[in-house]
């Protein structure tokens, strides 16, 4: 359905104009460790789910996609995201 790459340096959301009607997102952490949340809370460098380089994050609902927020720990992180319905 759609694909994007985003660079995480400060707290970032996924791009709503790209994921539109998606109900699933597969996110690959390409560089640098991140912390993320899908519960509406704000991640920090010490709070949130930890994902390392090479980890795959699967979001299985449109609300998880809309609520996804991530922050890089240390250097900027690159995420590759594939969306589907």
Q: How do the domains of the chain map onto residue ranges?
A: 2-84
50 Cβ partners below 8 Å, 6+ apart?
Answer: 33, 34, 35
Q: Please tell me the pTM assigned to this model.
A: 0.94
What class is the 2-84 domain? mainly beta
Which residue spans within the chain are E strands per DSSP?
Answer: 2-8, 12-13, 24-31, 34-37, 49-51, 56-59, 69-72, 77-84
Q: What is the pLDDT along the chain (85 residues), one digit of tens a residue?
A: 899 999 999 999 999 999 999 999 999 999 999 999 999 999 999 999 999 999 999 999 999 999 999 999 989 999 999 999 9
């Amino acid at each position: 359905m759609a694909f994007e790459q985003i660079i995480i340096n400060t707290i970032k959301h996924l791009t709503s104009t790209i994921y539109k009607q998606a109900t699933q997102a597969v996110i690959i952490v390409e560089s640098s460790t991140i912390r993320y949340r899908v519960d509406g809370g704000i991640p920090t460098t010490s709070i949130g789910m930890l994902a390392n380089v090479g980890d795959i994050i699967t979001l299985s609902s449109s609300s998880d996609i809309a609520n996804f927020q991530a922050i890089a720990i240390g250097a900027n992180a690159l995420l590759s995201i594939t969306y589907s319905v």
